[in-house]
């Protein structure tokens, strides 16, 4: 999710209320925090694969979080990075490959659960337990197919999970990730979602221009704001933008050596008062039961976790305070 500093810590204070979006009417403000499987739960399952999405939903995940890029021939595929190097058997940018080339990749090639990083490339061959399933060299787990371990298209995920809420992050096209690249990908995403009747989808990007452009093309799909929209709300007492139903932000961000507090109990309460939900992603802060409990006690509406199985177990034990 959003991976840049938003505001100086000293300015993250409770400001005067923005005109309410209507808290009672916002279905994303939850009594039970949503278990949002980040990349399908990339610490427990191979990132952004159908296998990961299916396993996390079976384990109790309420929502899937995924990332999209666009192939050379204009197909919207599901992958976190702009390149295929980190997680798959291939190399190169998504934008330089056709869909046919993407389909030939092993989407679980570098997944080795355990430790701090499930995608290190220096482990023994036996550590990569699903390597070869996508290409037919290894038998898939019972109940799954080789296709479940390949790179899926967004259309395939939407068809497979018609009743599961899905969070879609727009990525760029190159490692430099110029803002214009996000806008181009926003247009491609709009082409996929233009006719959808689903309102259980949230679209986000850290580039506000991409969020705004997507909204202009598909105004009925709910949004989370980019950096600029979030900063306008937190700093300037302004609306985060049309179509926004939730903020999706980290707990902290370190900027020029200073740790900034982004998700706080007060900021969550303020968002709720103004009718917005609050989802927290944890890429900057790490995950632990202690962190999860703190977020639940702060009344967040969803946690984007890389460990949806473990988080679900904690949710059953640690209830949201009645004060939320």
For residues 17 and 274, is the Cβ–Cβ distance under 8 A? Answer: yes
The 10s digit of each residue's pLDDT in 278-303 is 999 998 788 999 999 999 999 999 99
Over residues 29-57, the mean pLDDT reads 96
Global pTM exceeds 0.85: yes
In the prediction, which pLDDT does 179 show?
87
Q: Which percentage of the chain shows pLDDT scores above 70?
A: 92
In the prediction, which pLDDT does 150 show?
98
The 10s digit of each residue's pLDDT in 49-76 is 999 999 999 999 999 999 999 999 999 9
Orientation angle between helical segments 308-317 and 50-59, nearest 10 degrees:
10
The 10s digit of each residue's pLDDT in 192-213 is 999 999 999 999 999 999 999 9
Beta strand 63-70 with 76-78 is: antiparallel
**Top-confidence residue, 173 or 21:** 173
The three-class DSSP label of residue 220 is coil
In the prediction, which pLDDT does 115 show?
66
pLDDT at 247 over 90: yes
Kind plus residue range of the DSSP H or E element containing 296: helix 289-297
Mean residue pLDDT of the chain comes to 91
Question: Minimal CA–CA distance to 97: which of 87, 85, 86?
Answer: 85
Q: How far apart are CA 107 and CA 147, in angstroms?
A: 9
Long-range contact set of residues 42-45: C-beta below 8 Å, sequence gap at least 24: 42/80, 42/118, 42/119, 42/306, 43/113, 43/118, 43/287, 43/306, 43/307, 44/113, 44/306, 44/307, 44/308, 44/309, 44/310, 45/111
Over residues 231-240, the mean pLDDT reads 90
pLDDT at 6 over 50: no
Q: How far apart are CA 278 and CA 29, in angstroms?
A: 8
In the prediction, which pLDDT does 221 show?
97
Q: Which percentage of the chain shows pLDDT scores above 90?
A: 82
In the prediction, which pLDDT does 17 show?
31
9-83+154-317 adopts what CATH topology? Answer: TIM Barrel (3.20.20)
For residues 206 and 2, is the Cβ–Cβ distance under 8 A? Answer: yes
Domain limits, the chain: 9-83+154-317
In the prediction, which pLDDT does 177 show?
74
The 10s digit of each residue's pLDDT in 100-125 is 999 999 999 999 997 668 999 999 99
Q: How far apart are CA 32 and CA 12, in angstroms?
A: 26
The three-class DSSP label of residue 151 is coil
Q: Tokens 């460990």 label which residue?
A: 307
């Amino acid at each position: 999710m959003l991976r840049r500093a938003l505001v100086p810590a000293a300015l993250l204070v409770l400001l005067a209320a923005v005109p309410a979006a209507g808290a009672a009417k916002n279905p994303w403000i939850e009594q039970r925090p949503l278990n949002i499987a980040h990349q399908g739960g990339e610490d427990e399952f191979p990132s952004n694969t159908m296998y990961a999405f299916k396993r996390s939903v079976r384990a109790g995940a309420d929502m899937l979080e995924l990332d999209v890029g666009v192939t050379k021939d204009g197909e919207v595929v599901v992958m976190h990075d702009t390149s295929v190097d980190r997680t798959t058997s291939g190399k190169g940018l998504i934008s330089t490959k056709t869909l046919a080339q993407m389909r030939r990749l092993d989407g679980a090639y570098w997944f080795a659960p355990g430790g701090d990083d499930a995608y290190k490339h220096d482990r023994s061959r036996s550590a990569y337990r699903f390597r070869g399933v996508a290409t037919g060299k290894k038998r898939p787990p019972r109940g799954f197919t080789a296709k479940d371990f390949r790179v899926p298209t967004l259309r395939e995920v939407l068809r497979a999970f018609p009743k599961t809420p899905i969070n879609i992050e727009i990525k760029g096209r190159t490692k430099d990730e110029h803002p214009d690249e996000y806008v181009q990908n926003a247009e491609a995403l709009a082409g996929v979602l233009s006719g959808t009747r689903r309102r259980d989808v949230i679209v986000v990007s850290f580039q506000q221009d991409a969020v705004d452009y997507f909204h202009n093309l598909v105004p009925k799909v709910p949004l989370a704001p980019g950096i600029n929209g979030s900063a306008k709300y937190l700093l300037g007492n302004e609306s985060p933008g049309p179509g926004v139903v939730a903020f999706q932000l980290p707990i902290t961000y370190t900027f020029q050596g200073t740790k900034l507090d982004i998700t706080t109990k007060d900021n969550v309460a303020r968002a709720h008062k103004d009718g917005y939900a609050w989802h927290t992603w944890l890429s900057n802060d790490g995950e632990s039961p202690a962190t999860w409990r703190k977020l639940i006690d702060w009344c967040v509406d969803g946690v984007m976790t890389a460990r949806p199985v473990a988080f679900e177990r904690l949710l059953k034990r640690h209830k949201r305070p009645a004060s939320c």
